[in-house]
Structure 1
Amino acid sequence: MRKDFFYIIAFLFALIILRIFFFEIYTINQNSMNNTYKAGNKVLIIKNFYSITYNDVIIFKHENKKMIKRCIGLPGNTFKIIKGKTYLDNVLIPLPSNAVDKKNSESDAFSRSEIYSTYGKNEWTLYNFGAFLIPKKGMVIALNPKNIILYKKLIEEENVDDLNLTKERYIFQDDFYFLMGDNRAESVDSRFFGPVKKADITGKVILKVW
């Protein structure tokens, strides 16, 4: 009897450790991943000891809330959209099989305003965007008017100290990932708020539970 009790306690302890440090159930509360995942679906995420590759679906923090998107670009990749088609390092990348690609008007004031706020580019839209070099840790950029307008927001997010910022260059302190929702026309993602740094990524989806 005492032995059974010990096993039960050990099992419960193991479950608690797994829940705290390794796995979590995330409930999707947005429509940006339609039709791959829909609001109300639950997914299992791994929180530690994982790598991020192209096409992974990840969970991250943005403005104090968790969001779910697909990794479209890795650190050091060049991302662009031409007439609604996405390219990575000048290679056309296909839409996910269940993605929604219905287009909104090119003149959508909200999207243009948000893209301009982040990247400082009047001509960039949801369907014609970039080219944009995704920062990686250790990447050096010249601090000239062209680069500052593209990377100003990311530099500010890194809370840079005087050792890394000079009058001529900036050295990025973290890897960044370009994330997009599968519901391309209705997803607020890296096209709006910029690439997401690795420190803000909290997990990777490994299984759809329901």
Structure 2
Amino acid sequence: MKWKLPFTKKATGIKPKKTKTREWVDAILFALIASTIIRGLLFSAYAIPSDSMKGTLLTGDYLFVSKISYGPRMPFTPVSVPFLESTITKDSIKTYWDGIKLPYLRLPGLTEIKKGDVVVFNKPEEADPSYKRPVDARTNLIKRCQATPGDILTIVNGQVYINGKAAPNAEKSQTSYEVVTNGTDINPQGLKDLNIEVLGQNASTYAMTVPKSSLATLKGFSNIKSVTPVVQTPGDYDATVFPHNEKFKWNQDNFGPLVMPKRGWTVPLNDSTMVLYRRAIELYENNKVDVKGNDVLINGKVAKSYTFKMNYYWMMGDNRHNSLDSRFWGYVPEDHVVGKAMITWMSIDSAGTFFDKIRWNRIFRTIN
């Protein structure tokens, strides 16, 4: 008589059925991994926090930012809590662990950063030692690229020039004007319809932020006597403007010329170039810089020149007189670049009523 072996799932190769709890854990784990990869390598969401890009982008706009456009940047701090900002709560509790820090690495992208692109990047100002934050934990900003590596940038009376040619202004860019009336009030609804913001008033003289597209209409109002751009005088030194040194008497409306550092570009080191480029050499490219008499020492050795290891960009807001941008903290290193702003997927007006809280005309709108 032959004995039959007992029938078991193990013997037949059939795996035990997962429990409902195990199925849920596996599904959540898969979703976390997939979403982390998508957010880290393909795109992420970003909210507009200020008016620096007003006209093109509004406070309350929510964007999709393409990371694959310029190439996904690998994390500097790989150990962090997914989907949270680098710090949370009023006590600024960190959501990352900086015990492991990786060097800068960017995967190949679809294109290079071009002049006119709207770019999300980490705030260069937070490279200062007082912030003590790794690059990918710094505040995200969004501005328009005005100059790329190797370009010579100049600003004359508010107009940007690149390599001696006037740069195209963004279609919906805006700046401030002094508006003088004949003494009668301006219709507030008319200004609202033109997206014109009144910054202040002294009798019949107003300070206004005016979009380029509304300028001709404003000048045509019957009670308007003059509309004059507000521009700082050339040669008036503004200590808040980069490079924050009286050797260069620049201001936000009259600036430069300044050469954008480019990977492989060698600059001679002297009094002037040290003022312009020391920040990049020391803070962004992580060198120890000392000046002893007429000698510049880089990592303890006397240097007559320096060759840059990264590319640098010049970023400015479309709302020119209400934007803290490269004019104030200088050029943006390539390792700070997050991605390209592509689409506005949602827009919420915090000042709107219940029925017009959502700006429906801005949903799934491409960004130019």
TM-score of the superposed pair, with normalisation by structure 2: 0.50
Q: 1:172 to 1:145 in 2, by over 3 A?
A: same
Does the alignment pair 1:182 with 2:341?
A: no
Question: Which residues of 2 match residues 8-23 of structure 1 at below 5 A?
Answer: 12=31, 14-23=34-43
Q: 1:166 to 1:203 in 2, by over 3 A?
A: farther
Question: Which residues of 2 match residues 89-168 of structure 1 at below 5 A?
Answer: 89-102=163-176, 104=230, 106=232, 112-115=238-241, 117-118=243-244, 121-157=247-283, 158-160=285-287, 162=298, 166-168=302-304
Instruction: Tell me the distance in 1 between the aligned counterparts of 2:278 and 2:59.
Output: 33
Percent of pairs identical after alignment? 30
Aligned twin of 2:49: 29
Aligned residues: 202
- The one-character-per-residue Cα deviations of 1:126-184 (angstroms, maximum 9, x if unpaired) are 11100000001111000011211111222222212657974210111110000000011
Q: 1:22 to 1:84 in 2, by over 3 A?
A: same
Instruction: Tell me the distance in 2 between the aligned counterparts of 1:146 and 1:196.
Output: 20
Matched residue type, 2:257: A
Aligned CA-pair RMSD: 2.6
Matched residue type, 1:148: M
Instruction: Tell me the distance in 2 between the aligned counterparts of 1:121 and 1:155.
Output: 19
Aligned twin of 2:113: 52
Corresponding residue SS for 2:116: coil
Corresponding residue SS for 1:202: strand
Instruction: Tell me the distance in 1 between the aligned counterparts of 2:242 and 2:339.
Output: 29
2:154 to 70, 80, 88: 80
Higher relative contact order (CA 8 A, sep 6+): 1
Unaligned runs of 5+ in 1: none
Q: 1:172 to 1:16 in 2, by over 3 A?
A: closer
The structure whose residues are more often helix, as a share, is: 1
Q: Which moved more, 1:38-47 or 1:154-163?
A: 154-163
